[in-house]
Structures are given as C-alpha cells and as structure tokens.
Structure 1
Amino acid sequence: MTWLITGGAGYIGAHVARAMSEAGERVLALDDLSAGVPERLPVGVPLVRGSSLDGELLKRVLADHAVTGVVHLAARKQVAESVAQPTRYYRENVGGLATLLDAVAEAGVRRLVFSSSAAVYGNPDVDLIIEDTPCAPVNPYGETKLTGEWLVRAAGAAHGISTVCLRYFNVAGAAAPELADTGVFNIVPMVFDRLTRGEAPRIFGDDYPTPDGTCVRDYIHVADLAEAHLAAARRLSGLSGDLTVNVGRGEGVSVRELIDVIGEVSGHTRPPVVEGRRPGDAPRAVASAARATEELGWTASRPVREMVESAWRGWQRHHGG
C-alpha cells in the first residue's frame, strides 16, 4: 500500500503522516502550504506541493507514486471564515474533494479516508452524539463537511471505492512541540495567547444548562486522532462499502474546567472574564465513541491534561511564553 495524505503538512496531516509512517505504512503528502509547514513531515515522506483542486496534478501524483489509498484532510476549517466566505469554502472543500474523487476513480484507487467533523451535527440536544444523530450543520464549514460525506459515499458506491468518514470533535495537543498548531483559532491556543499577553481568557456565556454554566465539549488529543486515521486506513482492507465513525473521548469537559487546567499547566492563572453567549454555541457536544472501538479497534487514551501540557510545550517553542 502507498497512501497519499492531502493536507499532509498541516497540523493534523503531519500527525497522521507521522503515525502512519512509524507504523510501517508508505506515505506521501500533498499540500499547497497555505497552512502547512514542510518541516513537520517525517524524514523520508515525500512532499508534493499543490492543491486538490488541480486535477491533472492529482492524476500524475496517483500514477507516479502508484497510490493505492488516500487520506483526504486538505480543507479550510475556520467556522467564522466560512460564514464570511461561504463560496470559497464550498469551492475548496467540496470542489477540491470532487476533483480528487474523479482522479481517484480514474486511477483505480479503491480506499479513501475522509476527514469530516462533528460540525455536521450542528447543535443536537442529546447527552451523547451517536453517528445516527440527525445532521443539521449551522455554518458553511459544517455544511461543506456534510456535503463532502454525501459525495464520498456516492462516489464510493459508483466506483467501488471503500470509504471511511471520520467525524472528529475538538482537537488539541501535539505529539511533539515541532508539530504543534501554530494558529490561534481553537480554544487552547486562544487561551494561551491571552494569558501570555497578560489578558484574561474569555468565557462566552456561563448560564447554560450545564454543571458550571459553561459549554461542555469533547476534546481529543491530536496524536489519538492520528492513530484513528491509521486504524481507519487499515480497516479499509477488509471493508466493502462505507463507514462513518465519531472520533472523540466520549467525555465532556466544560470551558471553565479547561481554562483551569490551562492555568495550572502554563502558570498563568488570571481569572476568566464572562461575556455574552456566541450565536450557535451548543450547551453540550460530546461524542459516543463506541462505534470507533467496535469498528476500528481504536480508543482514545490521552487525557485532557496531557493535551494541554503538550500544547503548552508547542506554544512555548513557537511563541514563547
């Protein structure tokens, strides 16, 4: 097997490349480097610079490297940006996937792992989100991921491609400091950023129907997530058809609890300030991880404190603090 990882030099992609190559899989990465960093890739993993919107490039890469499976992570992923630039998100996330699937079908590749998101669910009022929970995304980013899943399954059925869609929840941490997320878009780096600038972290709403009034989320260590991709890729060798799986820990952590852990780990302990609720925030979004264990033989093993500690080491490497 040779696996092509699109978006392979990104934060998540590089972790997947590392996990798969360390497990003995032969991998190469495709990345346009709009957010990717070539130095994140393990030694010996080739990097092709380019976009999943470039059909001719994809065909050459699949042929030249005798690719037999694809892990598709390349996508834009910021919710607020998707609201401001919906056409860009549909063009890159859905259009790029359609172009890739055409190339995959033409090349005779029969295995594909699609990087989806819990954003497909929207804000369901349930204790644990199962894979059969109705999907009702509330922003263009989530819409493009749900549309992507439909497209993956339809193309799989039409061309005999076995597919796994991984719906993952809130990703944090780093397997090594050099692999850390360099952006300041997710809650852990956002809190680091404010604390190291001497500003109080922000909580958006403390009057939700949760134990401490703040939103509850399911956080997954990026190294666990990478191992889930490896498990999904290997599951495809015995899979005919499609599979959709949540990737989470199945445990909820409130925003206030997470900020407390961040303060303990970083040594910056300014009390948070409470602001108004943000539109669209669900009180609780926690995965049922049972299907991942049953179908992939995978279970998340790293606790929230380890996520924060590893993220803090990465933050110090890239930002100081």
Structure 2
Amino acid sequence: MTQTTAIPPTMRAAVLTGQQALSVKEVPTPAYAADEVLIEVAAVGVCGSDTHYFRHGRIGDFVVDAPLILGHELSGRIVAVGADVADSRIGERVAVEPQKPCRSCRECRAGQYNLCRRMEFYATPPIDGAFARYCVIRDEYAHRVPDSMSDEAAALLEPLSVAITTMRKARVAPGSSILIAGAGPIGIICAQTARAFGAAEIIVSDLVPERRERALRYGATRVLDPRETDVATAGLDVNAFVDASGAARAVFSGIRAVRPGGVAVLVGLGSTEMSLPIEHIQNFEVTVTGIFRYTDTWPAAIHLVSAGLVDLDSLVTGRFDLDHAAQALESDLDPDSLKAIVRPGP
C-alpha cells in the first residue's frame, strides 16, 4: 500500500438511515485491497435511483435494510494505491466506473460483466456509495480524465455511459432516426449521444413544455407533446425507440412507432409489468431489449466530452455540500432542475 499523505481513519459521509432520513456521520475510511485505489471524492451526481432509495427505501428487490451511503456518479483524485497498483497513479484525476464484478462467473467470462450475479455496485444495498470524502474502487475502474475536463463532467460520465450503452443497443448510426420518450436527465443525455453517434432525426416526447424546449437545445431535431400527438399513429417510422420515462403508455406507443426490423430499448425505471404491442413486435420483427448499466463505456464517454460532442457541464443545475445532500436528493421536484451535484470535500 502506498500513499503520499496521511489518510484519516474516519471520514464524513451522508448516510441514509431510513425513508427520507439522511444524516452526516463520521464513519470509518474504507480500506483498500492490493488491486484497489483510494479516491478522494470531488463531485457526485444525483441519480434517480438515489432519490428512489431516499424516498421509498427500495428499488424492486434491492431493499435498504441497513444504513447506506448513496451516490454512484462520481469523480475524484487517487490518494493511495494497493500493493499491486503503480505508485504513479497517485494524484491522478479520475472518473469512477462504480462497480465490482466477480470476474469469474459465466457472464463476466463472456465480457458481460454488467450482468454479474455477484456484482457489488455503488449505492446498491448493501454496498456503500460516494456521498463521502473517500471511496475505493479497483484500479481498472478508475479512469483517468484530462485536465480540460471538470470534476462535474467527469462525474457525469456515468449517466453518459448509460446513454452510450443505449445507443449501441439501439444500433444508432449516421443517418438513422430515433424517438426518445422522456426529457429528463437520461433523455437529454441520450439525445446528445444520439447526435454524436450520427443520428439525422432525433425526436423527443415529453409532457412538460419546458423539458421539450430544453431537448431542442440538446440535440433534438423535433419535439412532441404525447397528449397532442399520438406517437403510435403519427407515422414516425423510426429506426429506434428509447424509453427514458418508465411510463407504460410511452413504451407501448413508442414501440409501435418503430419501423420493421428496428429496435426498442427500455431504459427508464417503470412498472415491473406492462402491456406491449405484441402483434407489432412479431409482424415487424422489432427487437425489444433493456439495458442494465454498462460495459467498457468510459473510454468512449471521455472522448465524446473531450471532443465537444457531448456537453455535460451545462446540465448541472444545482450544487450542494455534504451537509445539504438531502436537499440535493429533493432538487428533482423543481421542474427546472436537471442534474444536482454533491461535493463531499472537507
């Protein structure tokens, strides 16, 4: 183990202790293994999953039944390394891929480590996240970022990785067309990423006028109000449909807007069960799939931001220190909010 500065034995962290109960506590600084690095956290983005755990205490089968530190969209600086990690990494600014697969299961061996059944993922019970001064990650999942990239943009490479995975699954290519349901944070990042992947037509639907207007500033070529336009029968005929809303009606209508041989990708968290237009899926051989996190996306994400193809900095609409992390988790109630950032610094 190598470190250049003294690491305190304890650190401040915002700990979820119950539904809508978050308090700043002094907790042990995490220990790091031989293949891991210790990171001083610079910025953490607030994700919809964080707010869901905060408000409801669970997401599906993942239940918060013990104190939990939230936050999995993060950047920071390496301050110490394990015995198997080069000392030269100390001091690097990094974006964190917040997962620890087992490396040995069938899915890991097939390169689908995001589907690892023994995955340890930040801020998913019982694994602590990054609303804290320090965190630990395996060496290969601490991705060096250029000095030109802000801490906040580096943290938001995580939701950008979701969008990159989505575009890959949707087979978005130069000249293709895509419909995105939902203009929240993921929908907006998906619109930008679709543009970066070369999509010629990017249609975004949302119920909220302000969100539709915002989508036009971030890559959408056209926006729709689904209350005024029946997406299913509007003749959109898109190559791909992406649901970033989780709304059952949006999913049903969006799939029907896909042309023969096209793809529908379900990203948004919605009902555990919903109706699908089976006749359309069968007769037009539409591929319907989901995404669950990501594999090998950070290099692409770093390139897209560094090349100016995706703008993450302007998505930040609120900044909070650790003592106000609860307010950050509630900031999505403001219709003008897009991404909140927590800075856990000392």
- The TM-score, its normalising length taken from structure 1, stands at 0.35
Richer in helix (by share)? 1
- The TM-score, its normalising length taken from structure 2, stands at 0.33
